[in-house]
């Protein structure tokens, strides 16, 4: 009986050691899985950051192009208005000189 009890005890010790080894292996695997997941998440965040930066840069370039086009359009409109005003002033200048001369040299 005693031998049987000792054998049973030895079997329990062996089984406990095997279970501890499995638990340790499972913990190592879990740590590896977590590490892999964290690295993958970091990669995904970096890729997302790069895509966001590219999109922001493209939007910035579009905004600059739109701004430049609007500035050019405004300048062209102002140039046309100035040219029109100058042409009108030039036309009326002759009339103004004629009136001044009429009043100075009656």
Q: What is the pLDDT of residues 54-89, one digit of tens each?
A: 999 999 999 999 999 999 999 999 999 999 999 888
Residue with tokens 């005003």: 85
**Confidence class for position 5, pLDDT limits 50, 70, 90:** confident
Q: Which one-letter DSSP state was computed for residue 1?
A: -
pLDDT band of residue 34 (cuts 50, 70, 90) is: very high
pLDDT at residue 106, rounded to an integer = 64
Total domains in the chain come to 1
Please tell me the distance from the alpha carbon of residue 28 to that of residue 50, in angstroms, as a whole number.
Answer: 33
Backbone φ, ψ for residue 105 (5° rounding): -115, 80
Which residue range forms the structural domain that includes residue 98?
1-106
| Highest mean pLDDT out of 10-14, 66-70, 97-101 | 66-70
What's the pTM value of the predicted model, to 2 decimals?
0.55
């Amino acid at each position: 009986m005693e031998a049987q009890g000792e054998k049973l005890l030895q079997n329990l010790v062996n089984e406990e050691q095997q279970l501890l080894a499995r638990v340790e292996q499972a913990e190592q695997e879990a740590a590896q899985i977590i590490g892999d997941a964290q690295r993958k998440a970091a990669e995904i965040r970096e890729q997302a950051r790069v895509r966001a930066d590219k999109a922001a840069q493209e939007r910035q370039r579009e905004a600059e192009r739109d701004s430049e086009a609007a500035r050019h359009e405004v300048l062209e409109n102002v140039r046309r208005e100035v040219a029109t005003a100058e042409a009108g002033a030039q036309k009326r200048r002759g009339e103004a000189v004629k009136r001044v001369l009429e009043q100075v040299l009656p």
